[in-house]
A and B are shown apart, each in its own frame.
Chain A
Amino acid sequence: MTVAKPLPHDAAALHVTGQARYVDDIPLPADTVHLAFGLSQIARGRITGMDLSAVRAAPGVIAVMTADDLPFANDVSPSIHDEPLLADGTIHHAGQPVFLVIAESHLAARAAARLGVVACDEETPILTVEEALAADSRFEGGPVIWAKGDVEAALASAPERLSGTLRLGGQEHFYLEGQAALALPQEGGDMHVVSSTQHPTEIQHKVAEALGLPMHAVRVECRRMGGGFGGKESQGNALAVACAVAARATGRPAKMRYDRDDDFIVTGKRHDFRIDYRAGFDREGRVHALDFTQLCRCGWAQDLSLAVADRAMLHSDNAYRIGALRVASHRLKTNTQSATAFRGFGGPQGMAGVEAVMDRIARHLGMDGVALRRRNFYEAARARGPSAPSGESRGAPPSPEDVSGRKKQGEADLTSRGATKISSGTGAAQRFGGAHSPPPPGGANVTHYGMEVTDFELHAMTDRLLETSDYAARRTAIADWNAGSPVLKRGLAYAPVKFGISFTLTHLNQAGALVHVYQDGSIHLNHGGTEMGQGLFQKVAQVTAERFGLPVESVKITATDTAKVPNTSATAASSGSDLNGMAAQNAADQIRDRMAACLAPLYQAEPAAVRFEDGEVVVGEERMPFAEAARICYMNRVSLSAAGYYRTPEITWDRLRGQGRPFYYFAYGCAVTEVVIDTLTGENRILRADILHDCGRSLNPALDRGQIEGGYVQGAGWLTTEELVWDAKGRLRTHAPSTYKIPACSDRPQVFEVALWDGENRSETVYRSKAVGEPPFMLGISAWLALADACAACGPHDPMLNAPATAEEVLAAVGRARG
């Protein structure tokens, strides 16, 4: 077996010797030009004039471009064409690109960009969600509301009620490799772009628009990224388009990479949220009603915000079957960076909201947090039931006005997941939500968006994790320890994760692959997924090799290339292995079937009986090396190349009504984290983390473990040390690692126990594996909850801990607990 082996990363040997090439490492043609943006210094206003003479006169400068110099579309938006490459007269945020410097070197371009003088009529920026609400500054008209049950009635009749407000900060991706692109002009006006991107097809699309070319004239390649995390799903568009436009204008290759400060200041981050909640429950801990109002700060452009905000709504139940649940989501437009995709894509914010409420209820009732959560879990999946129920049973058929899953003619953008401006200005979404919605179909084990939960694994997983982490004994020991420790306090918390897998924009759930078998038996693999470190390339290579019964070394992994596999979706939504693994399997199986059909009659065998195993092909009584089989097929004029394709079955989603089955399945995980805080300073440490995570039948346990460990630490970073600070003028003040603190090695848990749940996906995914990119990120919520638990040990009141729980916030929460 090649699949399920814990093989190392495909490029490990290149990384440890310094040979792995990122965009910035590619040897350049001698006449390459280098680019830098001149950035807006103010957050909002109208441009009244620009003096770029000093820029043009600066050493090494070849040309300077403004919006007026762009030959075709001035747009780098992945959704509704609201994101000009260069400001078109209006300034939307501090750090917005205003002009483009083309120079002989990277440093010359950057130095010259500082010399531009942009005169503006400055306006008061809208920076906070409160300011945006007051100004009714939004994407989509009015809030989107999805609900299950009669929330007001359930709240009114509940024996106990709580309400409150929670703030969750944003997060900078801090991919170690900053954004970068390189454009190489080709004959006849064609353009070849090399980009550090999770979405080559979108780069191709935007470059084609900017050059006035059909997509076939633009080829985009990406061998690897130095980290992506969602930050290279749409944020690479600007650099690639700038390079293409500059290359067209100068006739020379053009390269651009952001300096780290510019990367922080220009590009989008995770959406920060304010979540207002009301909860109704009984004294046994059964939650009757939850009402969430999510204020989502989207920044200046729509980007992917609608889909992010949708996913936050979709994860507001997390693992809990709540009788009445309503989520109202406000997508607020502010004069800040355009918030964008980031691992979890809104899911973490929705989940952190309900987990904070669960903890608060538990403290209010004096119950253990785990006991309270288990009382409200979805019902367990049947012991070994059917893989997944059929799609027909769920959700009403789409209504005539349903435009979910596709885009309106005219503003179609078929390659992104930004979603179109479905209901902007109409408030249409609101009509379908609220307490007046028809009751959702299906049985009781149904989410607030009408999807039956049939694969719930968390009962058994929680049992095992509580045992392996020795939760009960540690809970008691920590209480005793805290009683004798006035300054240092420990905290312990459990958090479950139920994360929906599939793009919520249904048409994106498709993928292609291209497989060649050469006459010497070696194999060339290409697919639409991109490699950002997660190990996707190796997993898909393992699947391909497995189909031919070969070791993974037989398969050459190649750069993602829009000329080989077209119309790809972003490598996002954790979908890379699910989609591309299946597409590659499909391609390999086509070739395998053709080979079997060729070989069987030569040896008096049936094609169905031909086996590919252990590097050999077995045909009747004959065994031959795979290379010999490939040679025979070639000599018999058999095509040894195939394009594979896959689309996820059974998913249907009516976005306006908030009803359907948006996810093919759920991935599960749970974590127990222990922390200690210093109540005098707020300083804190993660002492121990125990994780049990569900990867289905793992394609590669080593790579999956890496995703789990890294995801947890990144999630804990979001909720603890990673703080973004904008000043009153809307300038981001934490624009480099000197002031923005991602977890360092010394910040990770001292004891870190990670185990994989040994189940298999109940849905028919590639080798019954489960997606693993995003779900473990949310295990980090347990660290934040543990900090709240430690704060709660300081006094009788609820600490109402916000995120990020910096030392300052922890100190404030200790104060709130003491009252």
Chain B
Amino acid sequence: MDKTREITLTVNGESVTARVPVRMNLVDFLRNELELTGSHVGCEHGVCGACTLLMDGRTTRACLTLAVQADGAEVVTVEGLAASGRSAALARAFTERNALQCGFCTPGMLASAVTWVEGGGSAERDAIRAHISGNYCRCTGYQSIVDAIADVAGSKAEDAA
């Protein structure tokens, strides 16, 4: 039995076609085949959030997603968020607020933060906390991360007003 499948997907705006083992995780495909190592492998069972990325616009655990499930999908990793400028304001805020230390959670945290900000999320701290409760950070104590997201959400709301 052929245990590989050909898939075609869009990764950070580029079309990619590849033959992959059917049991290969999306995060392994991105990291090992496409050398997009910004998505990190933390716990590999969907709890820590380090591998979080956007698939068809939704935050997705790339360690719990098979590469074949991404066939036909649009995948955006931290590299794509940065290159397109989508995460620019958040990246600035994370830097200014010192919302990262070891940085290992940062790509996943940014992916979750992008969906909050782009989805019109408020600067209300409790709501931000709930939104990123699926992304572990072992270093910062989260205070500065919530500050950074609140900064961007707040200024976006001001712009809209």
Q: Write out, one digit per residue, whether chain B residues 80-111 have a CB within 8 A of any chain A CB (1) or not (0).
A: 00100001001100111010111111110010
Q: Which residues of B contact A224 (CB under 8 A)?
A: 102-103
Residue B78 at the chain A interface, CB threshold 8 Å: yes
Task: Among B102, B110, B129, point to the contact of A176 (Cβ < 8 A).
Answer: B102
Residue A634 at the chain B interface, CB threshold 8 Å: no
Q: Write out, one digit per residue, whether chain B residues 51-88 have a CB within 8 A of any chain A CB (1) or not (0).
A: 00000000000000000000000000111001000010
Closest partner residue, chain A, to B108 (CB atom)? A176
User: Once the chains bind, are A16 and B87 in contact (CB under 8 Å)?
Assistant: yes
Q: Which residues of B contact A712 (CB under 8 A)?
A: 141
Q: Nearest-CB distance from B45 to chain A (Å)?
A: 6
Residue B16 at the chain A interface, CB threshold 8 Å: no
Is the contact region of chain A dominated by helix, strand, or loop, or is it mixed? Answer: loop
Task: Among A532, A743, A750, A754, point to the contact of B102 (Cβ < 8 A).
Answer: A532
Residue B29 at the chain A interface, CB threshold 8 Å: no
Q: Nearest-CB distance from B105 to chain A (Å)?
A: 5
- Chain A 698-737 interface residues, beta-carbon cutoff 8 Å to B: 702-703, 705-706, 709-714, 736-737
Residue B50 at the chain A interface, CB threshold 8 Å: yes
Known A-B contacts A24-B37, A533-B139; the reply to A225 vs B102 at CB < 8 A is yes
Q: In the bound complex, how far is the Cα of B146 from the Cα of A712, in angstroms?
A: 16
User: Once the chains bind, are A745 and B142 in contact (CB under 8 Å)?
Assistant: yes
Residue B154 at the chain A interface, CB threshold 8 Å: no
Q: Write out, one digit per residue, whether chain A residues 1-12 have a CB within 8 A of any chain B CB (1) or not (0).
A: 000001011011
Closest partner residue, chain B, to A18 (CB atom)? B38
Task: Among B39, B41, B126, B136, point to the contact of A18 (Cβ < 8 A).
Answer: B39
Residue B135 at the chain A interface, CB threshold 8 Å: yes
Known A-B contacts A15-B106, A18-B36, A706-B144; the reply to A750 vs B133 at CB < 8 A is no
Q: Nearest-CB distance from A738 to chain B (Å)?
A: 5
- Chain A 532-575 interface residues, beta-carbon cutoff 8 Å to B: 532-535
Q: Write out, one digit per residue, whether chain B residues 99-127 have a CB within 8 A of any chain A CB (1) or not (0).
A: 01111111100100000000000000110
Q: Nearest-CB distance from A440 to chain B (Å)?
A: 38
Q: In the bound complex, how far is the Cα of B133 from the Cα of A144, in angstroms?
A: 44
Residue B130 at the chain A interface, CB threshold 8 Å: yes
- Chain B 30-45 interface residues, beta-carbon cutoff 8 Å to A: 31, 35-45
User: Once the chains bind, are B101 and A9 in contact (CB under 8 Å)?
Assistant: yes
Q: In the bound complex, how far is the Cα of B32 from the Cα of A587, in angstroms?
A: 41
Closest partner residue, chain A, to B104 (CB atom)? A226
Q: In the bound complex, how far is the Cα of B106 from the Cα of A11, in angstroms?
A: 12
User: Once the chains bind, are A745 and B146 in contact (CB under 8 Å)?
Assistant: yes
User: Once the chains bind, are A752 and B143 in contact (CB under 8 Å)?
Assistant: yes
Q: Nearest-CB distance from A257 to chain B (Å)?
A: 8
Residue B132 at the chain A interface, CB threshold 8 Å: yes
Residue B4 at the chain A interface, CB threshold 8 Å: no
Residue A746 at the chain B interface, CB threshold 8 Å: yes
Residue B138 at the chain A interface, CB threshold 8 Å: yes
User: Once the chains bind, are B105 and A176 in contact (CB under 8 Å)?
Assistant: yes
Q: In the bound complex, how far is the Cα of B87 from the Cα of A177, in angstroms?
A: 23
Closest partner residue, chain B, to A17 (CB atom)? B82
User: Once the chains bind, are B42 and A176 in contact (CB under 8 Å)?
Assistant: yes
Q: Which residues of B contact A706 (CB under 8 A)?
A: 98, 101, 139-141, 144
Q: How many A-B residue pairs have CB under 8 A?
A: 171
Known A-B contacts A16-B87, A737-B47; the reply to A8 vs B96 at CB < 8 A is yes
Q: In the bound complex, how far is the Cα of B125 from the Cα of A702, in angstroms?
A: 21
Closest partner residue, chain A, to B38 (CB atom)? A18
Q: Which residues of B contact A767 (CB under 8 A)?
A: none
Q: Which residues of B contact A743 (CB under 8 A)?
A: 141-142
Q: Nearest-CB distance from A588 to chain B (Å)?
A: 25
Closest partner residue, chain B, to A13 (CB atom)? B95
Q: Which residues of A contact B43 (CB under 8 A)?
A: 260, 736-738
Q: Nearest-CB distance from B156 to chain A (Å)?
A: 18
Closest partner residue, chain A, to B83 (CB atom)? A17
Q: In the bound complex, how far is the Cα of B43 from the Cα of A259, in angstroms?
A: 7
Q: Which residues of A contact B79 (CB under 8 A)?
A: 17-19
Closest partner residue, chain A, to B130 (CB atom)? A746
Known A-B contacts A176-B104, A226-B103; the reply to A18 vs B145 at CB < 8 A is no
- Chain A 251-272 interface residues, beta-carbon cutoff 8 Å to B: 259-260
User: Once the chains bind, are B37 and A709 in contact (CB under 8 Å)?
Assistant: no
User: Once the chains bind, are A22 and B40 in contact (CB under 8 Å)?
Assistant: yes
Q: Which residues of B contact A260 (CB under 8 A)?
A: 42-45
User: Once the chains bind, are A534 and B82 in contact (CB under 8 Å)?
Assistant: no
Residue B152 at the chain A interface, CB threshold 8 Å: no
Q: Which residues of A contact B100 (CB under 8 A)?
A: 9, 12, 15-16, 533
Q: In the bound complex, how far is the Cα of B101 from the Cα of A709, in angstroms?
A: 12
Residue A319 at the chain B interface, CB threshold 8 Å: no
User: Once the chains bind, are A714 and B141 in contact (CB under 8 Å)?
Assistant: yes
Task: Among A16, A229, A533, A709, point to the contact of B110 (Cβ < 8 A).
Answer: A16
User: Once the chains bind, are A737 and B142 in contact (CB under 8 Å)?
Assistant: no
Q: Nearest-CB distance from B51 to chain A (Å)?
A: 11
Q: Which residues of B contact A174 (CB under 8 A)?
A: 136, 138
Q: In the bound complex, how far is the Cα of B39 from the Cα of A486, in angstroms?
A: 48
User: Once the chains bind, are A176 and B136 in contact (CB under 8 Å)?
Assistant: yes
Residue A517 at the chain B interface, CB threshold 8 Å: no
Q: Which residues of A contact B78 (CB under 8 A)?
A: 16-18
Q: Which residues of B contact A702 (CB under 8 A)?
A: 98
Q: Which residues of A contact B144 (CB under 8 A)?
A: 705-706, 709
Closest partner residue, chain B, to A535 (CB atom)? B101
Residue A21 at the chain B interface, CB threshold 8 Å: yes
Q: Which residues of B contact A14 (CB under 8 A)?
A: 103
Q: Nearest-CB distance from A370 to chain B (Å)?
A: 24
Q: Which residues of A contact B95 (CB under 8 A)?
A: 8-9, 12-13, 16
Closest partner residue, chain B, to A748 (CB atom)? B142
Residue B48 at the chain A interface, CB threshold 8 Å: yes
Q: Which residues of A contact B133 (CB under 8 A)?
A: 744-746
Q: In the bound complex, how far is the Cα of B130 from the Cα of A225, in angstroms?
A: 28
User: Once the chains bind, are B102 and A25 in contact (CB under 8 Å)?
Assistant: no
- Chain A 208-246 interface residues, beta-carbon cutoff 8 Å to B: 224-229
Q: In the bound complex, how far is the Cα of B99 from the Cα of A705, in angstroms?
A: 11
Q: Nearest-CB distance from A279 to chain B (Å)?
A: 33
User: Once the chains bind, are B101 and A18 in contact (CB under 8 Å)?
Assistant: no
User: Once the chains bind, are B145 and A226 in contact (CB under 8 Å)?
Assistant: no
Q: Which residues of B contact A736 (CB under 8 A)?
A: 43, 45, 47
Residue A188 at the chain B interface, CB threshold 8 Å: no
Q: Write out, one digit per residue, whether chain A residues 352-366 have a CB within 8 A of any chain B CB (1) or not (0).
A: 000000000000000
Closest partner residue, chain B, to A15 (CB atom)? B103
Q: In the bound complex, how far is the Cα of B95 from the Cα of A535, in angstroms?
A: 13
Q: Which residues of A contact B139 (CB under 8 A)?
A: 227, 533, 706, 710
Residue A313 at the chain B interface, CB threshold 8 Å: no
User: Once the chains bind, are A177 and B132 in contact (CB under 8 Å)?
Assistant: no
User: Once the chains bind, are A177 and B40 in contact (CB under 8 Å)?
Assistant: yes
Residue A742 at the chain B interface, CB threshold 8 Å: yes
Residue A484 at the chain B interface, CB threshold 8 Å: no
Known A-B contacts A174-B138, A745-B142; the reply to A16 vs B40 at CB < 8 A is no
Q: In the bound complex, how far is the Cα of B94 from the Cα of A677, in angstroms?
A: 33
User: Once the chains bind, are A703 and B138 in contact (CB under 8 Å)?
Assistant: no
Closest partner residue, chain B, to A22 (CB atom)? B104
Q: Which residues of A contact B102 (CB under 8 A)?
A: 175-177, 224-228, 532-533
Q: Which residues of A contact B129 (CB under 8 A)?
A: 745-746, 748
Closest partner residue, chain A, to B91 (CB atom)? A16
Q: In the bound complex, how far is the Cα of B139 from the Cα of A522, in angstroms?
A: 32
Residue A27 at the chain B interface, CB threshold 8 Å: yes
Known A-B contacts A12-B95, A745-B146; the reply to A25 vs B37 at CB < 8 A is yes
Given contacts A176-B50, A533-B102, 8 further A-B contacts (CB under 8 A): A12-B98, A175-B138, A259-B44, A260-B45, A709-B141, A709-B143, A736-B45, A745-B137
Chain B contact residues, CB within 8 Å of chain A: 31, 35-45, 47-48, 50, 77-79, 82, 87, 90-91, 94-96, 98, 100-107, 110, 125-126, 129-130, 132-146
A-B contacts, 23 of them at CB < 8 A, read A12-B98, A16-B78, A18-B38, A18-B77, A18-B78, A22-B104, A24-B37, A173-B138, A177-B104, A227-B102, A260-B44, A260-B45, A532-B102, A533-B103, A705-B144, A706-B101, A706-B144, A738-B47, A742-B138, A745-B135, A745-B146, A748-B141, A748-B142
**Nearest 5 A/B pairs, CB to CB:** A18-B38, A533-B102, A226-B104, A15-B103, A533-B101
